[in-house]
């Protein structure tokens, strides 16, 4: 199965985000609304994007006590996003509460997909061991978090493309991997550590490729998007 591209709408205002989407007239995209845009505009930005025929991954990375996460997910269920997420570091009980809240708030409609962040793609081995004081190999920790998310009833995880194949092997083929840190060849890594090109991410089994700066900061975003699509469509 070919992966699907999610464009990260990392813009400070709804006006800029919606103006960007106008460049793709007639296309139905899958986009990510993160904390900056959501905190600036609130739920209305998700509804405005959905009204344009696009799918939305609402990337708020909830991480709190189980009761708070449950009630927050119940509220978010009405926003209309197609996918939401939590931090796997919150543990199995918190993740189960997130699923319960999402289901409670999705009365009369299918609940959004829910995934868990394993380790941020800006985190490297040294940071995880030395600063976060998490022992072991980064890949092993990511896989353990993925298995916890699966046990909690989530649909998948956020990870780097480099862990996708191992996660599928350690969970199931239907357990989705959403992979940020995707860059076109030659683009700057920025603050990311574990990056991959669209073609390489496809080879490693990523289900969704979250691509931001390589498209949104390009001189011609539509052309950059087409290049990304060509990479994943080439057999």
pLDDT at 121: 81
Beta-strand runs (E) in 163-225? 176-179, 208-211
Dist CA 17 CA 187 (whole Å): 22
Tell me which residues are annotated as active site.
61
Average pLDDT over the chain, rounded to an integer: 94
Q: What is the pLDDT of residues 141-178, one digit of tens each?
A: 999 999 999 999 999 999 999 999 999 999 999 999 99
Residue 194 in this model has a pLDDT that exceeds 90:
no
Return the half-sphere exposure (C-beta side, CA atoms, 13 A cut-off) of residue 44.
Answer: 7
How many residues comprise the chain? 235
Contact 33, 7 (CB under 8 A): no
Q: What is the pLDDT of residues 6-21, one digit of tens each?
A: 999 999 999 999 999 9
Through-space distance between the first and last CA atoms of the chain, rounded to whole angstroms: 11
CATH number at residue 32: 3.20.20.70
Domains: count for the chain: 1
Q: What is the pLDDT of residues 90-134, one digit of tens each?
A: 999 999 999 999 999 998 888 999 999 999 888 889 999 999 999
Dist CA 143 CA 133 (whole Å): 17
Q: What is the pLDDT of residues 174-191, one digit of tens each?
A: 999 999 989 887 666 565
Find the angle CA(73)-CA(79)-CA(82) to the nearest 5 degrees. 85
Question: Which candidate, 73, 20, 54, 63, places its Cα nearest to that of 158?
Answer: 63
Q: What is the pLDDT of residues 67-92, one digit of tens each?
A: 999 999 999 999 999 999 999 999 99
DSSP-assigned letter for residue 208: E
Residue 223 in this model has a pLDDT that exceeds 90:
yes
Residue 189 has which token pair? 């890594």
CA 115 to chain centroid? 8
pLDDT at 120: 85
Between 123 and 50, where is the model more confident? 50
As a whole number, mean pLDDT of residues 38-50 equals: 98
pLDDT at 188: 60
Residue 30 in this model has a pLDDT that exceeds 80:
yes
Percent of the chain with pLDDT over 70: 96
Instruction: Look up the domain containing 209 and give its range.
Output: 4-233
Residues β-bridged to residue 165: none
Give the count of beta carbons closer than 10 Å to the beta carbon of residue 74: 18
């Amino acid at each position: 199965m070919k992966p699907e591209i999610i464009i990260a709408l990392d813009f400070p205002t709804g006006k800029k985000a919606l103006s960007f989407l106008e460049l793709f007239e007639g296309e139905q995209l899958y986009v990510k609304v993160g904390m900056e845009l959501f905190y600036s505009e609130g739920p209305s930005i998700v509804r405005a994007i959905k009204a344009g025929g696009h799918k939305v991954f609402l990337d708020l990375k909830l991480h709190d006590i189980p009761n708070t996460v449950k009630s927050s997910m119940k509220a978010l269920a009405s926003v209309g996003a197609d996918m939401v997420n939590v931090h796997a570091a919150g543990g199995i009980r918190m993740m189960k509460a997130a699923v319960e809240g999402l289901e409670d708030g999705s009365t009369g409609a299918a609940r959004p997909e829910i995934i868990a962040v394993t380790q941020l793609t800006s985190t490297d081995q040294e940071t995880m061991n030395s600063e976060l004081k998490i022992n072991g190999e980064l890949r092993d920790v990511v896989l353990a978090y993925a298995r916890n998310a699966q046990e909690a009833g989530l649909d998948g995880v956020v990870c780097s493309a480099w862990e996708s194949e191992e996660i599928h092997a350690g969970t199931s083929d239907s357990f989705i991997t959403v992979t940020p840190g995707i860059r076109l060849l030659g683009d700057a890594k920025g603050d990311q550590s574990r990056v991959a090109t669209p073609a390489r991410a496809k080879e490693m089994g990523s289900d969704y490729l979250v691509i931001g700066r390589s498209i949104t900061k390009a001189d011609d975003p539509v052309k950059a998007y087409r290049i990304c699509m060509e990479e994943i469509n080439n057999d």
